[in-house]
Homo-oligomer: A and B are copies of this chain.
């Protein structure tokens, strides 16, 4: 880690004037708003819990979902806790081994554990409310669509506010506890463990939940709809509760952990870059990301409160209104923060606008590729008329096309925000142009995440309404009620798809920020080593030579890209294996208890839930361990054996401060991180958008196109939808998390690669 900041500043960024003043106030404001955010979450939770909880028939179903979800979460987080403790011990030992890192072992391990705990806590809390909001939404739908919409959104808002609030409080309190107000330039480097802890929990939460949800879904469909010929959500299907549980643990807990990780990693990374600008902005530059998160909370609370809908309005209109309110407020807050904290440098507001526009464009592009009114979904529906093969071919072709526009948007956003960053800080002479530009890209990332809490509320809205629909279906409510929940469900499907676009967009922008933080960290470690050996680091040296022409770097890049494919393959196969256990159990239940199909006796829902829980948790371990261990193994191997291959590490290469320092490990890992990120972004877009397009092509045909339900085209479209399921709900979202995990794990492990 970088614990000798002034020297580092001198080396990379050319130290200069420092700014003084009582800027501590900003930290207190951020912490206070963080607490306010949690209080608002409590308020929304109480308003949800105070609503009518439906008939006893509905409660029976809801209780089964709740128990299943809670049982899964409990076992899942026990498993994750064990993995986290093992990793904490490994981290501690790894840090203890070298005299350079030993003094920081405690702080890294503590921040790691707190990051993991906060992530777990926010996941648990959000889930706790969601599985109680579903029945209340269902109950409200019996009388009012508007009321049901509000309840579902308020339930979702709990997740959104808790995630962002805990992320803000976690980073803020650790900053305070680690002495950030006394030693502001050094402390951000000590927080990297927090990001890693959050990532680790996010990876396993998303993987485990993603495998669970799709195993239950595919299993229930194959044995219910296909074999037994009973409709979706039919109470005779023993896997039906497992399926409804899956909506919660996969979509809701998974995406919450994903966004928690994004904000945590972004906060820490942006604070590290802010520390580099200490000569310009002082403490304010470091606290800026926390204030942006505080603005996010306030804007989102207002946005959620503004959502009201009439009985006949499309629910998406109401949700979008809230989103626009949140965005405008966030932008205004952003401008105020730039005025007060960054010296009214309006070019930097341009960076923030870049981020906001990027998130808007990502959402629109996702819409274009996944909504029924545009060409791609129509083309898949059309291709379904010639059978499942052409449906699949067209879907994959659409999936492979999807990265093109987002890549151009991200490229433009990076270049523009870099440029605006250099313009905004043009008059500053004590900081390099490169540092200015990189700070611009960091501000763009903050801009993009400045409405995260609202986005997450909309996202969690999805599984709540999905569950509400299931409860209505299973408790045999009249069709008029079902129509209302169907409307909500459709809106929920849209928000889920859009959030995935948002999540991958933020992952792409944040990747660059985190990569810069990694390079800064390596630079600082080299500086320490050289200083400890009595040498001095030349002013001109900087660790920015991740040279793709060097063999270990190229190999690291290849391995990084390969990791994303292998990880996806494992995740998809895990769904298949876990689904097999569901199918087997349902077969056994049908065989042992013929009364189930006759409707005379109830299936054992719990047994199915337990079986898929066990299977999903078993299956999540291997891909998760692969993701964590691959950067470590590559870094260590090249650290020990890479010297021979690296031109800069050999006697004839330049010595660093008079010492031959082997950078092979650090460079190979940098390439693994960067090219793994690029490959992961593209693969995730392929899978998310391809899966979403298949899903909606099926829905489009169900509205009557190409022969409608029960036509050959529909059968073909069902095949595409089933293929898309593990793509868009397991492997794709897990890849978002993997990308950020790669960034945080390399940040934490950086000292071990040198």
Band of interface residues on A: 35 or more
User: A576 at interface (Cβ–Cβ under 8 A)?
Assistant: yes
- Distance in angstroms between the alpha carbons of A515 and B223 in the assembled complex: 53
Residue A394 interfacial (CB < 8 Å): yes
Docked complex Cα distance between A20 and B441 (Å):
56
Interface string of A398-417 (1 = CB under 8 A from B): 11110110010011001100
Select A400's contact among B399, B545, B572, B675, beta carbons within 8 Å: B572
Q: A401, B565: Cβ atoms under 8 Å?
A: yes
Q: How far is the CA of A422 from the CA of B516 in the complex (A)?
A: 33
A544 to B550, CA, bound (A): 8
Is A581 in the interface zone, CB < 8 Å from B?
Answer: no
> Contact mask A370-396 → B, CB, 8 Å, 1/0?
000000000000010011111011101
Is the Cβ of A415 less than 8 Å from the Cβ of B555?
A: yes
Partner of A562, one of B403, B512, B573: B403
Contact present for A437 and B551 (CB under 8 Å): yes
- Taken together as a complex, chains A and B put the C-alpha atoms of A723 and B383 apart, in Å, by 12
Complex: chain B residue closest to A670, CB-CB: B548
What copy number does this chain have within its complex? 2
A54 beta carbon closer than 8 Å to chain B: no
* A226, closest chain B residue (CB): B387
How far, in whole Å, are A411 and B400 apart by their CA atoms in the complex? 27
Known contacts A390-B576, A555-B414; is-contact A422 B679 (Cβ 8 Å): no
Q: Does A568 contact B (CB under 8 A)?
A: yes
Q: Answer yes or no: A726 CB below 8 A from chain B CBs.
A: yes
Kindly state the separation between the CA atoms of A652 and B436 in the bound complex, as whole angstroms: 13
Report which of B390, B407, B549 forms a contact with A559, defined as CB distance below 8 A: B407
Contact A544/B555 with A422-B644, A566-B404, A645-B419 known, Cβ cut-off 8 Å: no
Contact with B along A554-592 (1 / 0, CB 8 A): 110111011001101110110110000001000000000
* A395 CB → nearest B CB, Å: 10
**Contact A561–B678 (Cβ < 8 Å):** yes
Asked whether A433 is an interface residue with its Cβ less than 8 Å from the other chain, the reply is yes
Alpha-carbon gap, A376 to B710, bound state (A)? 33
The answer, yes or no, to whether A110 is at the interface (CB within 8 Å) is no
Q: Find A397's partner among B222, B226, B437, B573 (CB 8 Å cutoff).
A: B573
Query: A734 to nearest B CB, angstroms?
Result: 13
Task: Tell me which residues from 186 to 210 in chain A have a Cβ below 8 Å from any Cβ of chain B.
Answer: none
- The verdict on A454 contacting chain B, using a C-beta distance below 8 Å, is no
A171 contacts B by Cβ under 8 Å: no
Which residues of chain B are within 8 angstroms of A722 by Cβ–Cβ distance? 389-390, 393
User: Are B401 and A569 closer than 8 Å at their CB atoms?
Assistant: yes
The listed residue (B404, B418, B679) touching A678 by CB distance below 8 A is B679
Let me know if A682 is at the binding interface, CB within 8 A: yes
A569 engages B670 (CB within 8 Å): no
Q: Name the CB-closest residue of B to A404.
A: B566
Inter-chain CA distance A432–B646, complex, in Å, is 11
CB distance from A215 to the nearest CB of B (A): 12
Asked if B407 contacts A562 (CB within 8 A), the reply is: yes
Would you call A512 and B554 a contact (CB within 8 A)? yes
The reply to whether B719 and A549 contact each other, CB–CB distance below 8 Å, is no
- A519 close to chain B: CB less than 8 A: yes
Alpha-carbon gap, A236 to B138, bound state (A): 60
A16 at the interface (CB under 8 A from B): no
- Check if A686 is an interface residue, CB within 8 A of chain B: yes
Contacts A422-B644, A558-B411 given: A394-B437 contact, CB under 8 Å? no
Residue A183 lies at the interface, judged by CB distance under 8 Å to chain B: no
Given known contacts A512-B554, A647-B433, A392 and B682 CB-to-CB distance under 8 angstroms: no
A575 cross-chain contacts in B, Cβ below 8 A:
393
A547 within 8 A of B: yes
Q: Which residue of B lies closest to A214 (CB)?
A: B393
A535 located at the interface, meaning its Cβ lies under 8 Å from any Cβ of chain B in the complex: no
Given contacts A546-B547, A644-B422, contact A389 B723 (CB under 8 A): yes
Report whether B549 and A515 are in contact in the complex, using a CB–CB cutoff of 8 Å.
yes
Cβ-defined partner of A565 (8 Å) among B403, B519, B548, B559: B403
Shortest C-beta distance, A636 to chain B (Å), equals: 15
- State whether the Cβ of A654 lies closer than 8 Å to any Cβ in chain B: yes
Task: Indicate if the CB atoms of B723 and A565 lie closer than 8 Å.
Answer: no
Whether, in the assembled complex, A102 has its beta carbon less than 8 Å from a beta carbon of chain B, the answer is: no
User: Taking the complex as formed, is A671 at the interface, i.e. its CB lies under 8 A from any CB of chain B?
Assistant: yes
Given A398-B569, A400-B569: A547 touches B549 (CB 8 Å cut-off): no
Residues of B within 8 A of A644 (CB): 419, 422
Residue on B nearest A515 in the bound complex, by CB: B549
Query: Does residue A28 face the partner (Cβ distance < 8 Å to B)?
Result: no
A573 — which chain B residues lie within 8 A by C-beta? Answer: 394, 397, 401
- Given known contacts A400-B566, A645-B415, is B679 in contact with A572 (CB within 8 Å)? no
Cβ contacts A514-529/B at 8 Å (1 or 0 each): 0110010000000000
Residues of B close to A340: CB separation below 8 A = none
- Indicate if the CB atoms of A404 and B565 lie closer than 8 Å: yes
Residue A55 CB within 8 A of the other chain: no
On chain B, the residues within 8 Å of A390 by CB distance are 222, 576, 722
- For A544, list chain B residues within 8 Å (CB): 547, 549-550, 647
The answer to whether B441 and A674 touch across the interface, beta carbons within 8 angstroms, is no
Minimal beta-carbon separation of A420 from chain B (angstroms): 11
Tell whether A540 is near chain B: CB-to-CB under 8 Å. yes
Kindly state the separation between the CA atoms of A554 and B434 in the bound complex, as whole angstroms: 14
Taking a contact as CB atoms under 8 Å apart, the answer to whether A418 and B645 are in contact is yes
**A557 / chain B contacts, CB cutoff of 8 Å:** 674-675, 678
Which residues, 627 to 664 on A, are CB-close (under 8 Å) to B? 644-645, 647, 650, 652, 654
A-B contact pairs, 11 of them (CB 8 A): A222-B386, A388-B389, A388-B719, A394-B576, A404-B562, A407-B562, A418-B645, A437-B645, A558-B678, A679-B679, A679-B682
For the A-B complex with A388-B719, A389-B723, A419-B644 known, give 6 more contacts whose Cβ atoms are closer than 8 Å. Answer: A388-B389, A393-B572, A437-B551, A441-B551, A561-B678, A565-B682
* Interface pairs A-B: 6 shortest CB-CB: A389-B722, A400-B569, A401-B569, A407-B562, A434-B647, A397-B572
